[in-house]
């Protein structure tokens, strides 16, 4: 206490200022350590987890896109015939370089039901390097992969998708059994698709999610440690001992406990508070000093006190709130991928997956009691393609699809491309369906197109064979047999001269046929 009594007012003020600064810093860092900093870290961790989840979603969408392309080929009667009787014509027309989707598939391998290799190849630009793409991998591991696919049920199509490595490059691998066109009877062999994960693909994911993304090969036994503000996803190669490492560099960074700008602000605040206190004391003692100066012989000159208005005893602290905006690119990309999984890429109308989903909604959600399935097959479409060319064939498919899609009806209706030159209508109603009326409308619509077909034995214009089946249903399980009955009716028409239609009324099991 004696020492304090010997201190001047300025000294006491300085001492109190130091104590106040120390208390302030103590409370500030205590609050930051036990409250605000933990909340900042938790918020950043949560946003980083959201970024990882968005990357997972886009990878899943890419996997589903490859599965969709694979199942379009695997569930195909023509593919079954090819495994039983391979031909170069089938390869050229259906799985050659001009018949595949180069952006989706980089390699194909086809095996029969005994796992004997039939055909395969790598798609390199405008050429196909024909070879068994799985030949260079460990045969036991290839067998293990096919064993896994072989364990899938035969009643419906099911696909496996995984990641693998060829020539130090990452690939998506999808495999499935070969089934009939109704995605049933899956026991006719195996189909494998490979798609390279190219920089354009990773760049698209990075753009859609706002993260830095890289995919690297991790050799057997090697360890991967994520960098700061990075997350790692691992994908084991089932055909080898290596792994793929997906490195996600987050746009959201872990906050530092104290930043340089924060230290600068604190230092400025401490200095301002010290100066403010000293300035206040100086103002208070100025009258005393002035009186003392007046009494002194020599008057001090200069040394003006700082203006008190230039000092602040209160520091405004601000915390930057980072707003994590939703990435519109992901929504757009997700919507595009979602659309592609339910629509045919050539014609733009629904594909089989879209058809089955719509039928399930008709029955299970909207509770329509009457369902009709109509299968259309273009007559002599192979001679059309062979003589007019595949480009004209594609244009004909597009025109036909658009015309069928433009048909107006009071029924709930969906038209889809069922595969190759086959189309399918699904009609639903609460009342019995006059299916023959709808067939007449469909035939007139096709006739109105007037697509020339000089190589058809039945007509100079493009014609179709139609098989239909209708019945009253109470659950979705009763819809599936309609496809079989419509298919049988279709083949009956094709075997009896084509350019006709046949209806199987499944409720009475009586077939009605109308001549052209």
State whether 160 and 309 are in the same domain: no
Buried b (16+ CB within 10 A) or exposed e, 88-113: eebbebbbbeeebeeebbbbbbbbbe
Instruction: Find the CATH number of the domain harbouring 414.
Output: 3.30.70.270
* Per-residue pLDDT tens digits for 138-163: 788 888 889 999 999 999 999 999 99
* Per-residue pLDDT tens digits for 451-509: 999 999 989 999 999 999 999 999 999 999 999 999 999 999 999 989 999 998 865 43
Q: Residue 317 has what pLDDT?
A: 41
Instruction: Find the CATH number of the domain harbouring 162.
Output: 3.30.450.220
Considering the domain boundaries, does residue 336 fall inside one? no
Integer Cα distance of 65 and 349 in angstroms: 17
Q: Residue 513 has what pLDDT?
A: 40
Considering the domain boundaries, does residue 29 fall inside one? no
Give percent above pLDDT 90 in the chain.
46
State whether 323 and 428 are in the same domain: no
Q: At what angle do helices 328-342 and 199-209 cross, to 10 degrees?
A: 120
State whether 90 and 232 are in the same domain: yes
Q: Residue 12 has what pLDDT?
A: 65
The more confident residue out of 238 and 324 is 238
State whether 192 and 294 are in the same domain: no
Q: Residue 315 has what pLDDT?
A: 36
- Grouping H, G, I as helix, E, B as strand and the rest as coil, residue 71 is helix
For residues 373 and 469, the answer to whether their CB atoms sit within 8 Å is yes
Least confident of 288-297, 368-377, 431-440: 288-297
Residue ranges making up the domain that contains 500: 343-505
State whether 271 and 124 are in the same domain: no
State whether 501 and 432 are in the same domain: yes
Give the count of beta carbons closer than 10 Å to the beta carbon of residue 401: 20
Q: Write the secondary structure of 156-203 as one string of H (helix), E (strand) and C (coil).
A: CCCEEEEEEEECCEEEEEEEEECECCCCCCCCCCEEEEEEECCHHHHH
Considering the domain boundaries, does residue 25 fall inside one? no
174 DSSP β-pair partners: 161, 193
Query: Residue 33 has which token pair?
Result: 């350590």
Integer Cα distance of 189 and 133 in angstroms: 16
Number of structural domains (the chain) is 3
For residues 199 and 189, the answer to whether their CB atoms sit within 8 Å is no
**185: which residues sit within 8 A by CB, 6+ positions away?**
154, 179
Considering the domain boundaries, does residue 512 fall inside one? no
State whether 378 and 447 are in the same domain: yes
* Per-residue pLDDT tens digits for 385-426: 999 999 999 999 999 999 999 999 999 999 999 988 999 999
State whether 132 and 244 are in the same domain: yes
Q: Residue 284 has what pLDDT?
A: 55
**Residue matched to tokens 């009939």:** 180
Q: Residue 406 has what pLDDT?
A: 92
Torsional sign, CA 468, 472, 476, 480? negative
221: left (phi over 0), alpha (psi -120 to 50) or beta: left
Integer Cα distance of 421 and 383 in angstroms: 12
Q: Residue 186 has what pLDDT?
A: 94
Considering the domain boundaries, does residue 150 fall inside one? yes
Residue 512: band (very low, low, confident or very high) from pLDDT cuts 50, 70, 90: very low
Out of 306, 330, 354, a domain closes at 330
Q: Is the pLDDT of residue 5 over 70?
A: no
State whether 366 and 491 are in the same domain: yes
Residue 24: band (very low, low, confident or very high) from pLDDT cuts 50, 70, 90: confident
Residue 302: band (very low, low, confident or very high) from pLDDT cuts 50, 70, 90: very low
* Per-residue pLDDT tens digits for 447-467: 999 999 999 998 999 999 999
Query: Residue 248 has which token pair?
Result: 């996600």
Q: Residue 349 has what pLDDT?
A: 92
Considering the domain boundaries, does residue 424 fall inside one? yes
108 DSSP β-pair partners: 121, 193
414 DSSP β-pair partners: 426
* Per-residue pLDDT tens digits for 57-86: 999 999 999 999 999 999 999 999 999 999
State whether 243 and 266 are in the same domain: no
38: left (phi over 0), alpha (psi -120 to 50) or beta: alpha
State whether 234 and 279 are in the same domain: no
Q: Residue 515 has what pLDDT?
A: 34
Q: Is the pLDDT of residue 103 over 90?
A: no
Give the count of beta carbons closer than 10 Å to the beta carbon of residue 501: 25
For residue 376, CA distances in Å to 161, 486, 503 come to: 32, 10, 12
State whether 245 and 265 are in the same domain: no
Integer Cα distance of 422 and 420 in angstroms: 6
Torsional sign, CA 403, 404, 409, 413? negative
Least confident of 284-298, 310-324, 329-343: 310-324
Integer Cα distance of 503 and 434 in angstroms: 11
Give backbone dihedrals phi and psi of 54, rounded to 5 degrees, phi first: -65, -40
Give percent above pLDDT 70 in the chain.
81
């Amino acid at each position: 206490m004696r020492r304090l009594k010997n201190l001047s007012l300025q000294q006491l003020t300085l001492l109190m200022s130091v104590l106040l600064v120390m208390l302030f810093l103590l409370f500030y860092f205590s609050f930051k350590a036990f409250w605000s900093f933990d909340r900042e870290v938790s918020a950043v961790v949560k946003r980083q987890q959201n970024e990882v989840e968005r990357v997972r979603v886009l990878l899943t969408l890419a996997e589903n896109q490859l599965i969709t392309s694979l199942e379009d080929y695997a569930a195909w009667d023509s593919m079954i015939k090819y495994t039983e009787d391979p031909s170069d014509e089938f390869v050229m027309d259906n799985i050659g370089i001009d018949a595949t989707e180069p952006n989706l598939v980089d390699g194909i391998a086809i095996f029969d039901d005994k796992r004997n290799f039939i055909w395969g190849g790598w798609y390199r630009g405008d050429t196909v390097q024909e070879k068994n793409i799985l030949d260079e991998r460990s045969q036991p591991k290839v067998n293990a992969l096919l064993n896994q696919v072989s364990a899938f049920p035969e009643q419906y199509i099911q696909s496996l998708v995984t990641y693998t490595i060829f020539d130090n490059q990452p690939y998506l691998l999808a495999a499935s059994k070969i089934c009939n066109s109704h995605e049933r009877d899956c026991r006719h062999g195996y189909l494998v698709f490979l798609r390279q994960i190219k920089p354009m693909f990773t760049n698209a994911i990075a753009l859609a999610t706002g993260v830095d993304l890289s995919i690297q090969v991790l050799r057997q036994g090697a360890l991967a440690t994520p960098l700061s503000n990075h997350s790692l996803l691992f994908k084991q190669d089932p055909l080898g001992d290596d792994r793929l490492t997906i490195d996600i560099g987050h746009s959201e960074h872990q906050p530092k406990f104290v930043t340089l700008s924060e230290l600068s602000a604190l230092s400025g605040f401490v200095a301002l508070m010290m100066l403010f206190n000293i300035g206040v004391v100086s103002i208070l003692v100025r009258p005393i000093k002035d009186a003392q100066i007046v009494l002194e012989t020599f008057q001090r000159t200069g040394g003006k006190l700082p203006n008190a208005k230039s000092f602040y005893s209160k520091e405004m602290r601000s915390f930057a709130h980072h707003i994590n905006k939703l990435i519109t690119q992901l929504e757009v990309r997700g919507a595009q991928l979602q659309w592609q999984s339910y629509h045919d890429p050539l014609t733009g109308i629904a594909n089989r997956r879209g058809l089955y989903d719509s039928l399930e909604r008709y029955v299970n959600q909207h509770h329509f009691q009457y369902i009709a399935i109509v299968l259309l097959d273009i007559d002599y479409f192979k001679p059309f393609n062979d003589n007019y060319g595949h480009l004209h064939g594609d244009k004909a498919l597009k025109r036909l699809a658009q015309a069928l899609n433009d048909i107006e009806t009071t029924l709930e209706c969906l038209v889809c491309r069922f595969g190759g030159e086959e189309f399918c209508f699904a009609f639903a109603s609460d009342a019995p369906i006059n299916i023959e009326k709808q067939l007449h409308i469909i035939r007139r619509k096709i006739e109105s197109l007037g697509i020339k077909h000089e190589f058809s034995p039945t007509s100079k214009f493009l014609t179709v064979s139609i098989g239909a089946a209708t019945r009253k249903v109470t659950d979705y399980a009763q819809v599936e047999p309609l496809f079989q009955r419509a298919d049988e009716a279709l083949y009956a028409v094709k075997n009896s001269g084509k350019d006709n239609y046949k209806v199987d009324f499944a409720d009475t099991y009586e077939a009605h046929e109308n001549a052209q």
